[in-house]
Structure 1
Amino acid sequence: MLAAAALVLGGPAKAAETVTSADILAASADLDCLDYRPVGGCLWLRCSIDGCSTRTSVKYRHYVPDAVVTAYPARGLSPWTEMRALDGTADGGTYARGAGSRAATGLRFKLAQAVGSPGIAWIEGLDFATTVCDPVATPLAPYYASGADPMWRAPELQAASTLRHALRAVREPGVPGSLWGALYPRAGFVQQGHDYKAGAVAAQRVADIVTRRNQPHVYRPLLGGSGGGQWPPGAVVEGDAGTHRWQLLAPRTGSCSVFAASASSLVGTVDPLGRNVSASGAYAWNLWRPYRCCARRGQWLIADWGD
């Protein structure tokens, strides 16, 4: 049934510098990214006027494309065309190319957004065939827009948190010199000469913000409460596929992985990430996060087991 649902949508979207909501919906029908599997079970207590009994249900784990995170060089250049209006009238910063001393030092600036993914509708549509978990995000709902967040342009105001989180970074594990960029300060400026990597670091910073509460930024938390046989995801941790995966949507459609996965560094004169570089400096990803849930079989959940 899951395979049939994927075929209905016609497979992944084509490579393009921009994407539409329809493109994102089609790209989200990816069974590898979904990674649907049974992982345990739940024990329920069901009571009626005739007495009480226990019932069990299977616990499933699968990923959900909670949000589309975009990173782009200036206002009006979001690769997700329907979301360009979210930029408002805020100054979009300066793109590295042609920006004088910034280009020479590899300092780039990216605006960013996080918006509920249209792909959530595909996940919810699978409910007729099997148990699926309730997403915490709403399709097309805005959770972050850097144009509304003054801190995105003020890294100097984040000195204390930057010092506290100095070791957190997007980097390839076990490979010296493979740093993509520091996670803090969580602002639009990224010290990175490779444009795709700069966009990825900006996106990772946004994910770090929206999957936590009480952050000093203007945003809506992308979090939910557990209960009733539902265990939504927690905070995203850079490099940890157990907390999230990224699926490239623009400038081309890709598979799911964390940023800076192994073998992504420059090898000799060959750049394995060269095909991901956008001519316009604009990027979009689905942010997939893991959910766990059981079908409800009673009024009270009295025990559960499995990851």
Structure 2
Amino acid sequence: MKILLIILFFVNASTVNAKTFSVTNLANSATSEDCLDYCVDGVCFWLVCGWGCSVKTTPHINHNLPDFVVSSYNEPGENSFSEVQSLDVMKNIQGGNLTTNSKSKRANSGLKFKEASVTGNPVAYAMGQAKYLCNSKIKPYMPYYLSTLDEKMWRSGLSDMLYLSTWVPGMNEVSSNKNQTDEFLKSWGSLYPRSGFLNQKNEVKTASVIAARALEVVSDGGARIYQSSGCTSADCMKKNGKWQMISPVEENSCRAFGIESVEELKDKVDEDGQYGWTAWRNYGCCIPGPGAFIGSSITGCLN
């Protein structure tokens, strides 16, 4: 009940125009059962002592939370997440001057550039306060990564020149294929180097890869300007992760990047190049019980 009240509070908050999304849209999307993927996967044991001692049990649960709001866009100040726009306007810098506006002669250029941001989702933090959900590790509204602050590395990718993934094709691709050769051939783009430039004609694929790169900075860091989220790449997102589009299309389901066909992506193109997603992170925890925690037994999700 508590979590429903929190989400309803956000849903009833003021809305913004269609060009942007706000916490209202994030709250609406957070009700997705497909993205939450909640299950009981074990038992937790608690020692309770009074005149004597006994062992009590509570469920061990596993689910996802929409920890990160990830945006990709063409120019500084055009972040679609309205609450972050004021943080994202930096003086004396420009985008890559490679606009994707449909009126531009460069719309079909293979080389594209986008800015990106990764922000702590306040809705995930609120959800984590509920008794039957795990606590989120993020800080609400925390700007974990702003490419406009990391402008030199985001425009050059120099800090990633020592990463093997930068030089080996197929090693770390945004693709749904597990075979390295197929992964490279059907890839939307490589995660490395983590810069804003990408050779990709498809606008939605470009935005998706750039978003994945920004989250990879938060996950694996390096010589970048970012705020650590306290998790490794494996913890933050599993194999291209669970991504839920918020803008320009507000979806009620999650998927990994790299699996949709060109035809499926046509309706998701934004003529101004502004995109936003929530990136869901997996959690496992015990529902709090009485007494002292002894341990847990994880058996797998019970259907």
Aligned to 1:112: 116
Cα distance in 1 for residues equivalent to 2:155 and 2:235: 27
**2:299 is matched with which residue?**
306
1:12-23 to structure 2, matched below 5 A, reads 16-23=18-25
Percent identity between the two aligned chains: 29
Q: Pick from 208, 218, 223: which aligns with 1:216?
A: 223
Stretch of structure 1 that moved more, 58-67 or 30-39? 30-39
Segments of structure 2 that go 5 or more residues without pairing to the other structure are none
The letter for the 1-side match of 2:264 is P
Q: Deviation at 1:189?
A: 0.6
Distance 1:292-1:97 versus aligned 2 partners, 3 A rule: closer
Per-residue deviation, 1:72:
0.3
Query: Within 5 A, what are the aligned runs for 1:182-197?
Result: 182-197=190-205
Aligned position for 1:229: none
Q: TM-score, normalised by structure 1?
A: 0.81
Q: Specify the alignment match of 1:278 in structure 2.
A: 270
Q: What's the counterpart of residue 32 of structure 1? A: 34
Long gaps (5+) in structure 1: 226-232
- Displacement of 1:62: 1.1
Equivalent residue in structure 1 for 2:258, among 240, 257, 260: 260
TM-score under structure 2 normalisation?
0.82
Q: Whole-Å Cα distance in 2 between the matches of residues 122 and 134 of structure 1?
A: 9
Structure 1 counterpart SS, 2:63: strand
Q: Once the 2 structures are TM-superposed, how far is the Cα of residue 121 of structure 1 from its aligned partner? A: 4.8
Are 2:125 and 1:133 equivalent residues in the alignment? no
State the distance in 2 between where 1:23 and 1:204 align.
21
Is residue 198–residue 206 contact of structure 2 (8 Å, CA) maintained in 1? Answer: yes
* Deviation for aligned residue 1:100: 9.4
RMSD: 3.2
Q: Are the equivalent residues in 2 in contact too, given 1:25–1:122 (CA < 8 A)?
A: no
Alignment of 1:156-305 (within 5 A): 156-161=158-163, 162-163=166-167, 167-173=171-177, 177-212=185-220, 214-223=221-230, 234-239=235-240, 244-254=241-251, 255-261=253-259, 264-266=260-262, 271-297=263-289, 298-305=291-298
Shift of 1:157: 4.3
Cα deviation for residue 35 of structure 1 reads 1.4
Residues 29 and 119, structure 1, Cα contact 8 Å, conserved in 2: no
| Maintained 8 Å contact 1:6/1:29 | no
